[in-house]
Every structure is written in structure tokens, then in C-alpha cells.
Structure 1
Amino acid sequence: MPESFTDTPLLTERFDAALRYATRHHARQLRKGTPIPYAAHILAVASLVLEMHGDEDEAIGALLHDVVEDGGGRAALAEIEAAFGATVAAIVVANSDTLDPDDRPGWYQRKRAYVDAFPDKTPGALRVSLADKLHNSRSILTDYRTHGDAIWARFGQGLGLATRIYYRELALAFEREHDRLGPAASPYVDELRRTVDAITALAESHQGPDTRTLFDG
């Protein structure tokens, strides 16, 4: 089958500008515990959003989703809104667990609030979030299979129970919002569940059953 083309490309110069902004912001940053440039993550998240049939604002939000909480703060948020618009800025806010990197709440408080806010997030913000968490969980599973329990040191959480609980909560939250995410996102909701369950099963093979399953027990 020949390649397909369009006379109205989804991605415009706005996406190109966002890509430059994001890669410059994260230029010195690496993925936790690896030599992988952080740009690999934001590119993967944008790719997944486009595969879910997200629009250009969502794809730009995917590129920029970590700028604010990874050091940019409110100043970067203002730059993002000025350059890329209020819709993109709102997607970034919805995907940031703090707007003040130098004065952030504790880990549990931030993660609990992030999950609890799902019903108030727009479908576009949810698709960006799903892409983010799916890429992270894929990376965790791949590295867990390779390095075993040593990977949990990256998160500063002993044997990783808190991280596993958080990802199980995320999988449930996306399943609850399944209909709002749209049919093109459905396979990715299912993949997140499979990936999270595989992480849990691998942890059980290393450590035995988790002592807690979700935030509340």
C-alpha cells in the first residue's frame, strides 16, 4: 500500500516551536538512573498522544507536560500560555503535580491529589496523562526485568511498594474515565493495566505479595 498524505497536516510550526522549547528545557536532564536523555520521554509521550488521535494542542501539551514541575515553575507556565495558548497551558497544569518546584507537598499528598483530580481533567489532558504514565510504566517494567529490585533505588522508595500502589491507582483511574478518553485511547488504557499487572506479578516473584494494594489498603 502506498504512503498516505494530507493537504492539511495536523502538526504546524507551533509543534516545531514547542519541540524546540521542550528539548532546550530538558537538555541536561536524564531519565532517572539511566544515561537516556529526557527528550526520549517527551517524544514518546507526544507520539502516544498522536496515536490516540489527539490534536495539536494535546501533542504540544505532551511535549511540555513536565516543564513546569521539572524546574520551570510558574514563570515557565506563563511563557507556555503566551507562546502556545491557554488550552496547552491548562493541559500542562493538569499534568503537573506541583506548580512550585521549590515548595512542593510530600510525595503521597501530590500523587493522591493527582489521581483524585481525574474527574475534573479534560479528555485531552487525560490522554496526555495516559501517554505519560504508559511510557513510564513500560520503562519501569523493562528495567525491572533487566535489573531486578535495584531499580527501586531510583525512586528513593526501598522496594518500590509506594510506586506500585500509585500505578495501580492510576490504572483504575483511567479505567473509570475510559469513555471520556475516546475509542482510539481504549487500547492504551488496556495496555496500562497489563503493564501495571506485569510489574505487580514481577514484584511478587521477587518479594512476595505486596502488603498493600491501593492507597487505602
Structure 2
Amino acid sequence: MTQVLRILAFAVLALGLMAASPARAQFQEGTHYERIDGPATADDDVIEVVEVFSYMCPHCRNFQPYVTPWEKDLPEGVTFRRVPVSFNRSWEPFARAYVTADVLDISDQSHDALFTAIHDERRPFRTIEDLAEFHSQFGVETAQFESTAESFPVEAAMRKSVADLGKWGVRSTPTLVIDGKWRVSPRRGGTFEEMLEVADYLIERERADAAPAEAADS
């Protein structure tokens, strides 16, 4: 009975893909998204979505009102995380600040606020000390933020981010990486809404591909 239910679940997912909107039916690899060479995420039971961003990127700032509510409505079995990128040395303190805030468990409070401070309020952050002072409003002392920014967990996360970004071939922001297999970035003439629709399409595709394997294991 369990096998029958899983096969039926796969059929429903497959029909959902076939019944996708005309716009989704036109999504093409190489135009709307790109394949990433190499292995996908290690956990076969979870589909991981990664937002690659930089606080210094104005497009990332404009993307936030779209991606923030979208990620809150992701289906069960889909996880979401952010990875900051440093395309040049001046961006590095901002990437480190995000990782530090994440380690301190305040990134949910500080993330949008820092985008607002940089791009809307034009506040002149340049160093990790400046950013520590900003994050003190979220209940973390500046000394604690600064010491955490130089700690082993933050250094390890920064190194892993560099390795992941190289593996994913990310060259612009914002970019969404779907399950380590697909890269979705804004395209000329496209919109942020389209970018998220493409991500939805790829998530549905991954769920449909996983269903037969689950049925076979029963």
C-alpha cells in the first residue's frame, strides 16, 4: 500500500510539471538556468536552495522583497540558506559580518536591516568594527561580535563559502543555487519574479525526480 501511495504521489508531481503555466513550459537550460557540473547536495532527502548575495550589491537589495516571502513558503523537504560572496577585498567585511551574525543567531533580525542601512540610509560602513557597532542593536556587544568574526567557526564558514562558490561557478549576484545542480541568475530582459518561477520549476523537477527512487526503496 505504501508503494502505491508513493507512486501516486510521483504521478501527481509529474502531472503538476506537465500542467505548468505556458511561461514555465518555456524555461530552457542555458537561457533561464544553467547546469552545475559535479555532485549535488549530500542529503538526498532534502532539496537545498542557496541564495548567493552581497550586501554591496544593489540588485541583491532589490531582490530581498521578493525572495524573503518566497523562501518562507517553500514546500516541506526544501531548505533555504544564504551564502555571502566577496568579489573584491572591500566586500569581505560584509560577507564576514553576515557569517558572524549567523553564528551568533541574529541574522534573521539583522539581514534586511543591514541592506536598508547600506542602500537606503547610505550609512558609511567600511570595517568589521563599523559593522560590529551596527549589530550591537540586536543584543550583541561589539567586543563579542568582533571576536566572533575572527573565530574558527566563522573562518571555517568563510572558507567553505569560497569553495562552494567556485564549485557552483557563481559570477554574479543575486544567484540561486538549486540542490547544487542548477544555477539561476537574473538575465537581460528578465525579472526577479521570473527568477523565482524558474527556481520553483527546478524544485518541482527535483521532487519529481526523487519520487521514483523513494517508491523503489519501499
Question: One fold, TM greater than 0.5?
Answer: no
Shorter chain as normaliser: what TM range?
under 0.3
Q: TM-score, normalised by structure 2?
A: 0.27
Structure with the bigger percentage of helix? 1
**TM-score (normalised: structure 1):** 0.27
Report which of the two structures shows the higher radius of gyration computed on alpha carbons: 2
Higher relative contact order (CA 8 A, sep 6+): 2
